[in-house]
Amino acid sequence: MNGIHLSRPARACAALAASGLFVLAAAPSAHAVDEINIDHVETVDSAVSLVLAVDGVPSGAVDPSTIQVDVDGRTVESTAKTITAGDVERTTVLVLDASNSMLQGGKFTSATAAVDAFLSSAPEDVRIGLVAFAGDLGDVIEPTTDHDAVRAALADVTLRKGTAVYDAIGEGLDQVGTEGSRSLLVLSDGGDTNSATTLDVVSKNAADNGVVVDVVSLANPKNAETMSGLADGTGGQVIPAEQGALQQVFSAQADALAEQLVVTFDRPKDAADEVNISVAVDADGTTYTDSAFVSVGAAPSGPDLVSSGRSLVGTPGMLLGAIALALGLAGVLAVALSGPDKSSADRRLDAYFGEGRPGKRKSDSTADIKGSAVALTDKVVSADLETRISQRLAGAGSALTASEWLLLHAGIAMGAAVVGFVLGGGVLAVLGFVLGLVGPWLYLKFRHSRRLNRFNGQLAETLGLMAGGLQAGLSLPQAVDSVVREGNEPMAGELRRALVEQRLGVDITDALEGVGQRMDSADFDWIVMAIRIQREVGGNLAEILHTVADTLREREYLRRQVRALSAEGRLSGYILVGLPPLIGIYMLFVNREYISVLYTTVPGFLLLGFAAILLAIGSFAMSKLAKVEV
């Protein structure tokens, strides 16, 4: 829908001026007293509707059937009638001064009576809002056809200090909306004193949004002159009314709304986007005319013809995809029908308890598709790979098994490839697949590294607790148990697992050595080695642990100091290494044609390969420069 608001009816105000009720202090209106005005034009599809104000024509003399509409000099067939609810949305916001100066001479009482007269006389379909302002914005009533609600809110307005008229006009522009015929009626008795915005800003916003602003200024010629630019720029008027004439002024404004006509006609098919519309009305033997240069929107276009474009994947790719999908479905069906195999955990339990271990329920032999898929993956995973993955998962604090992790990893890689293919075809599919392969490993490494840092940071405190327990007469397992009960994660969790293994028959030093292997902590391995040597050759283990704890504290202090000093270099390395790939991904989305030469031509592939090699060399060099072993 295209819409434009042209001119606010102020003919009634001019009539009141002729009767001596008030005197205009601003520049005279561009139209005569007896006239018609095109107030608003909007286009929906090809139907053009314009709001025509005829309150300047003698009342009752207008015959809607005599209205003639010309578009660029050509007469078009049109219909006209008095506006009723639903024809065109009409909105008026009253911006009312509620400052303390309105108390003088009963001006506020006269103003509220005038607003009440406007609410009583305005057509029921007109949406009316209220912004009562002083030094700040007070009560704001959103435009509504419930005029009684606005009247009730008006009765609750209280006077306050200050006059922020420009802020109030800005709020009125926000409340009036963007659709239909819209206007602001501002009533104030003084100039602005403390607005955050300016007159130029609200004038430009009103003109850009097609909102007409009429200003009623009470006995303040200077204020009327200041506001004249706002009114003239929006097709309105500044009306410096006498206090006693306020009610007549507002009643005349409401009557002007009641006498508006809506004229509709079909947009000429060959008309331009912007046309000159003129309207002529015959009344009592006199012809009244008005014209406006407005936008009626572009002519409706025919149906879009979609040309056949190049497919993202060729025929061989589609065939390979269909074959892969068929094989995948067949594999899932075979796994579901064949049932699950025993997991690695089940095999280890069978080694301890045998096939007929007590407590095994019949339901243990059945599983869902997820269990079958995990069991199938467990078959594929080699023992060495399973050990390494399990060690990394345990170090990261994950409860997943190696088979579950690989199954999830494969799902993430395939899902990322599918998302990349949907977003941008084969290139993004490959990129998504690579990110899906690398991303989970990087995440797992990050979790393991963060957990290892916390683990190493707790070593000195842990050794202190163990040494204190040993000095109090506890055995080594009892000292470890005191750390489990009083320590924090991840140290407490790892030592708890070592205690469980010790209670199942594993030597305590072997169980602690397993903690060091899972966490990949060289410091903890050193501690276990010290415990083994003490148990073999004797000595004061508490004193040894105290010495090791002091050494670890010094090393941790030095390690953190080195990380703080090398933080700038490491951050620079991350930025320099990550910037080229991130810019490449960004360009794929915002300007793919510009960067497509890199993945559609042989020189482009060579450049990408050379850039990847240089990036890898630079990353390796910067990591070595920023990494200091402690």
Q: What DSSP assignment string belongs to 139-151?
A: EEEEEES-HHHHH
Q: How many CB atoms lie within 10 A of CB 575?
A: 10
Q: Is the pLDDT of residue 464 over 60?
A: yes
Banded model confidence at residue 333, pLDDT cuts 50, 70, 90: low
What pLDDT does residue 21 have?
A: 29
Given this model, what pLDDT does residue 61 score?
Answer: 66
pLDDT confidence tier of residue 14, bands split at 50, 70 and 90:
very low
Q: How confident is the model at residue 355 (pLDDT cuts 50, 70, 90)?
A: very low
Percentages (nearest 5) of helix, strand, coil residues in the chain: 55, 15, 25
Over residues 54-70, the mean pLDDT reads 74
> Which bin fits 606, alpha (ψ -120 to 50), beta or left (φ > 0)?
alpha
What is residue 47's predicted lDDT score, i.e. its pLDDT?
81
- What confidence tier does 398 reach under pLDDT thresholds 50, 70, 90? confident
Q: What is the pLDDT of residue 377?
A: 52
Helical pair 426-457 and 459-471, crossing angle rounded to 10 deg: 30
* Distance from C-alpha of 616 to C-alpha of 621, rounded to nearest angstrom: 9
594 by Cβ neighbours in 10 Å (0-12 / 13-18 / 19+) ranks as exposed
Looking at per-residue confidence, does 211 or 399 come out higher? 211
pLDDT at 300: 60
In this structure, the dihedral spanned by the alpha carbons of residues 115, 117, 119 and 125, taken in order and rounded to 10 degrees, is -140
Specify the amino acid at residue 137. L
pLDDT band per the 50, 70, 90 thresholds, residue 429: confident
> Which residue in the block uniquely carries the two structure tokens 């040494």?
467
CA separation, residue 164 to residues 107, 169, 195, 198 (Å): 18, 9, 5, 10
State the Cα–Cα distance between residues 197 and 63, nearest whole angstrom: 46
In percent, the amount of the chain with pLDDT more than 90 equals 1
**Can you say whether the dihedral through the CA atoms of 109, 115, 119, 120 is positive or negative?**
positive
For residue 292, report the phi and psi dihedrals to the nearest 5 degrees.
-160, 145
With CA atoms as reference, report the closest residue to 25 among 249, 314, 221: 221
Is the pLDDT at 359 greater than 50? The verdict is: no
Model confidence at 613, pLDDT cuts 50, 70, 90, reads very high
Of the ranges 50-59, 112-121, 132-141, which one carries the lowest mean pLDDT score?
50-59
pLDDT band with cut points at 50, 70 and 90 for residue 585: confident
pLDDT at 488: 80
User: Token match 């572009």: residue?
Assistant: 298
Q: Which CATH class is domain 458-565?
A: mainly alpha
Give domain 2-295's CATH architecture: 3-Layer(aba) Sandwich (3.40)
Residue 326 confidence (pLDDT) above 70: no
27-to-236, 238, 481, 544, 587 alpha-carbon distances in Å: 11, 9, 94, 99, 56
- Higher-confidence residue: 602 or 5? 602
Please state whether the predicted TM-score (pTM) of the whole model is above 0.85. no
User: Which percentage of the chain shows pLDDT scores above 70?
Assistant: 73
